[in-house]
Structure 1
Amino acid sequence: MSITNHRLQISEPKASLDFYLNKLGMLLISQYEIDNKHHYFLSFSDNQDACLELVFAHDTVFSVQSQPSLTEGYWKYSIAVPNLRLAREHLISQGINIGSPFEVKNIAYLCHFTDPDGYCIELIQHYFTNNSRKRLSSSSSFQECLPTLNLSTLRVKQIDESLAFYTKLGMRLVSRQKVESRNMHLYFLSFNMESPPSSDIDSLRVREWLWQRPYTLLELQHTDGIESEIGFKYRTSTSSGFLGLDMNILKNLPSNVVGKETEFLVSSGKVTGVALNDPDGYQLRCF
């Protein structure tokens, strides 16, 4: 079981493909045109991390809001690398405007940039800055910096409902992280049964381990107290540009999870699966 596709709408295929293929060094795994929509499946490698699916449709209107946002549900996806400084230098050499790196105490060393449509991308280092382990010291391209699609990040209102929902789908909560400076908690869930360094979800020992995973994790951001804001709802519709996540979990999907049977495309072609929504309304497709 795994997250297989992180799905985004795009407005200009030429600009997006140039950015992801030529500047980030991703591979075009497959592409399809169906029902007047173009689907592009991209990946850094044939490893365990999810594909990035870019979808272009002439008649679709969407608006990508700048991040961080108080109202947008979709936040970002994260690319993890062993050496952030080196990876960032390669991106700058490709003409990408990328923010200065900073460390969120006891969480991660990271920086941010955007793609041609304005989607936020986080670059996150495998290790904290004070970690003395030997790291990748040189490379000739961003692809040689060993990037992986590490996190798909969503904001949620009712964290208990969200955790119950994703646990029912077969995910495990492997880490909970309090961000003191931003009045929020981060929750990291995985389909993989690999054991983290500690069974304590609040342990600092788990955190660097997360950024080193070769597969894609789900990150849920919960602002403390937002569950009590009557009438508030994050924008989670496809008008945000985020189309949802695909998950290879259908054979393990519990009978009490209600969805709609549907056909859709994955990198290998058309499949039959189930479409459903999580408690905040994010679209998920299971096959």
Structure 2
Amino acid sequence: MATLISKHSSSFAAEMGLKLTHNILRVKNPSELIQFYQNNFGMEHIEISTPPLPYKVNIVGYTKNYDANFNEASNILHPPTLLEFHYDDSSTTPSSFVNCGASQVYWKIGITLHDVDYARKFLQSKRVHVGEASQFEDIGYVCHLKDPNNFCIELLQHDFEQKFKAKTNTSDKQLPKDKFPLGYPCCIGQITLQANDIDKTQRFYQDLLGMKLLSIQELPMFGFTLYFFAWTHENPPKSDIKDATINREWLWKRPYTTIEIRHFHSSRQIPPFRDLKQNEIGFEGIRIMCNDLNMFIGKMKADSIPFEESNGTYGKEIIIRDPDNVPIYVSQNKSER
């Protein structure tokens, strides 16, 4: 039954043109954050016009995506997810940091790129503190840093450490390009959430929203498993989504954003998402867009999924919640309005 539901939901997702478009963060001093992401990561500040709101909105991110050869990718693939910053004057007071951290419902964004060591050296030259880079098991070559508001960023290399070193010793080595601050094009590859009940979470993202489960990465030594979901027509090279030999490096090269879910095997409980109070900063949810918001609402009603209606960054929207209470803001694609 779950497979049938998933196939039906995937068809609905395609009909609706569902896209993972924004990671929503309430911030303080947005100007500092915008400069940080522009100067260090080559993101663009995207001007938008919003309806009257009790907060200001700034959008930053990558407006183009690139394939594994650093050429602009086909428009068939969804563009990477953007960062949506919300700010109001109360955020300038000393404020607590909510929903964010390695033991919270929202952990980080992952920025995928060709050469992590080159990126580290560049960021360190800009006096950005970056942790040591290392090959983490058979997952990837990674390092971590924080932005000026303390949000966590992971740098994740396209290739495992040994494979990358082998590539650099060949004549077709990819050289850095001046037009990219980190030497190579980057992508917001992951939004990492943490879940308490993986069965309910998988049903929500896969069976209700029609996302494709691209990879399951088990780490029993560390007591957790990672699950990666996306709206895409692509399939991993190997049909075994637990494969570590090819699929994982393939996944890190995707020019679009996945939702990464970390689930701990023990009884360890992740505090559910809670709505931010006026003087707090932190993770506020994710935004998806569809071709027809009224049709999407109809499906939620048919599936008895509760939702709230509101007016947000792109006008009329509804809010549904995942099993850990994470808000999913659903807006209509701008071109379909």
Pairing partner for 1:234 from 258, 267, 271:
271
Pairing partner for 2:62 from 29, 44, 49:
44
Pairing partner for 1:12 from 21, 26, 29:
29
- Structure with the larger strand share: 1
| Structure 2 match to 1:53 | 84
Question: Structure 2 CA distance, aligned partners of 1:12 and 1:208?
Answer: 36
SS in 2 for 1:248: strand
Structure 1 residues 54-86: Cα deviation after superposition (integer angstroms, max 9, x where no partner) = 1111225541587433xx111000000011111
1:139 aligns with 2:177: yes
Contact residue 114 and residue 121 of structure 1 kept, 8 A: yes
Question: Structure 2 CA distance, aligned partners of 1:116 and 1:189?
Answer: 28
1:261 aligns with 2:278: no
| Structure 2 match to 1:79 | 111
Gaps (5+ residues) in structure 2?
A: 1-17, 66-78, 332-337
User: What amino acid is aligned across from residue 203 of structure 2 in structure 1?
Assistant: A
Question: Structure 2 CA distance, aligned partners of 1:83 and 1:153?
Answer: 21
- Name the TM-score, length of structure 1 as normaliser: 0.89
Question: Structure 1 CA distance, aligned partners of 2:161 and 2:54?
Answer: 47
- Structure with the larger helix share: 2
Q: Offset of 1:225 from its aligned partner? A: 2.2
Between 1:81-90 and 1:121-130, the stretch displaced more is 81-90
1:130 aligns with 2:162: yes
1:95 aligns with 2:127: yes
CA pair 89-99 structure 1, distance change in 2 beyond 3 A: same
Question: Structure 2 CA distance, aligned partners of 1:233 and 1:263?
Answer: 29
Question: Structure 2 CA distance, aligned partners of 1:119 and 1:80?
Answer: 17
| Structure 2 match to 1:208 | 249
Contact residue 156 and residue 221 of structure 1 kept, 8 A: yes
User: What amino acid is aligned across from residue 43 of structure 2 in structure 1?
Assistant: M
What is the number of residues matched between the two proteins?
Answer: 277
Q: Offset of 1:116 from its aligned partner? A: 0.6
CA RMSD of aligned residues (A): 2.1
In the TM superposition, 1:175-214 aligns within 5 A as 175-204=215-244, 205-214=246-255
Q: Offset of 1:142 from its aligned partner? A: 2.2
Question: Structure 1 CA distance, aligned partners of 2:241 and 2:210?
Answer: 17
User: What amino acid is aligned across from residue 327 of structure 2 in structure 1?
Assistant: Q
Give 1 or 2 for the bigger CA radius of gyration.
2
Question: Structure 2 CA distance, aligned partners of 1:238 and 1:219?
Answer: 21
Q: Offset of 1:233 from its aligned partner? A: 4.6
SS in 2 for 1:285: strand
1:63 aligns with 2:97: yes
CA pair 32-16 structure 1, distance change in 2 beyond 3 A: farther
Gaps (5+ residues) in structure 1?
A: none
User: What amino acid is aligned across from residue 236 of structure 1 in structure 2?
Assistant: F
Question: Structure 2 CA distance, aligned partners of 1:164 and 1:144?
Answer: 39
CA pair 186-233 structure 1, distance change in 2 beyond 3 A: closer
Structure 1 residues 167-214: Cα deviation after superposition (integer angstroms, max 9, x where no partner) = 111101111001233110000011112111112111112111111111
Q: Offset of 1:138 from its aligned partner? A: 2.3
Contact residue 2 and residue 192 of structure 1 kept, 8 A: no
CA pair 233-282 structure 1, distance change in 2 beyond 3 A: same
- Name the TM-score, length of structure 2 as normaliser: 0.76
Contact residue 38 and residue 55 of structure 1 kept, 8 A: yes
Contact residue 49 and residue 148 of structure 1 kept, 8 A: yes
| Structure 2 match to 1:105 | 137
User: What amino acid is aligned across from residue 260 of structure 1 in structure 2?
Assistant: E
